[in-house]
């Protein structure tokens, strides 16, 4: 009888150990799967990304400023140009759906008049007609207007304090700063770009 009782206790103990082992093996993958999930517990907030327009960044829609500074194609003098509102959606013949527009450069329709020669323009070719543009070996750095040029200069110069103040005063400047080409912030182009920007700003103040 003692042998039978000992066998029963031993069998119960082995059954309990086996049940616990199976439970741990079952919970193991679940725990590791949760730990390796792609969904972060806390939202990520990285530098300038908190200033982004979520709709614009996701769907590649772009909003131009109400006034852009161009050059008259007749006399070459500054031409304040008011671009026409762009359609918010267009039809995609491939998918048949409506998608947001993302055109930035090219032919821009609108209205502008030169204060020097009086020429009236209904369209400009961008960025060829831009008044604010700086050429470097890697490409052309341009700005829609002088107000945005201050933010571009702060970014190129590495003045993070001034850049933050400008972005906090007008969050729309983040759209320009977020699209500055990489070559504009390279060390070998910094001096040339800063000199050109300072020359444009001094010419405006005269």
Q: What is the pLDDT of residue 106?
A: 86
Mean pLDDT calculated for residue range 139-148: 90
Q: What is the distance, to the nearest Å, from the Cα of residue 138 to the centroid of all Cα atoms in its chain? A: 21
How far is C-alpha 76 from the chain's CA centre? 32
**CA distances (Å), origin 60, targets 19, 25, 40, 102:** 55, 47, 25, 5
* Domain extent at residue 117: 61-87+99-130
What are the pLDDT digits (tens) for 101-125?
Answer: 556 788 999 999 999 999 999 999 9
Same domain, 141 and 107: no
Q: Can you give the pLDDT at residue 131?
A: 93
pLDDT band, very low/low/confident/very high, at 81 (cuts 50, 70, 90): very high
Report the pLDDT value the prediction gives residue 13, as an integer from 0 to 100: 53
CA distances from 83 to 26, 63, 66, 91, 132 (A): 63, 10, 7, 22, 16
Residue 21 pLDDT greater than 90, yes or no: no
How many structural domains are present in the chain? 2
Residue 118 and residue 160 in one domain? no
Q: How far is CA 147 from each of CA 86, 152, 162, rounded to the nearest angstrom?
A: 22, 9, 14
Indicate if 165 and 108 belong to the same structural domain: no
């Amino acid at each position: 009888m003692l042998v039978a009782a000992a066998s029963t206790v031993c069998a119960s103990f082995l059954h309990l150990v086996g049940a616990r082992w199976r439970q741990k093996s079952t919970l193991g993958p679940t725990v590791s799967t949760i730990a390796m999930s792609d969904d972060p517990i806390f939202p990520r907030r990285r530098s300038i990304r908190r200033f982004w327009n979520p709709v614009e960044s996701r769907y590649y829609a772009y909003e131009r400023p109400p006034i852009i500074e161009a050059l008259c194609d007749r006399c070459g003098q500054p031409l304040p140009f008011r671009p026409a509102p762009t359609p918010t959606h267009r039809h995609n013949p491939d998918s048949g759906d409506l998608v947001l527009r993302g055109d930035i450069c090219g032919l821009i329709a609108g209205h502008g008049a030169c204060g020097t020669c009086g020429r009236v323009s209904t369209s400009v070719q961008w960025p060829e007609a831009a008044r604010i543009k700086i050429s470097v070996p890697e490409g052309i750095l341009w700005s829609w207007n002088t107000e945005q040029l201050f933010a571009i200069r702060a970014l190129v110069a590495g003045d993070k304090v001034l850049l933050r103040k400008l972005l906090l005063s007008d969050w729309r400047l983040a759209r320009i700063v977020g699209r500055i080409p990489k070559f504009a912030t390279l060390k070998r182009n910094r001096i040339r770009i800063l000199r050109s920007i300072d020359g444009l700003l001094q010419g405006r103040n005269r």
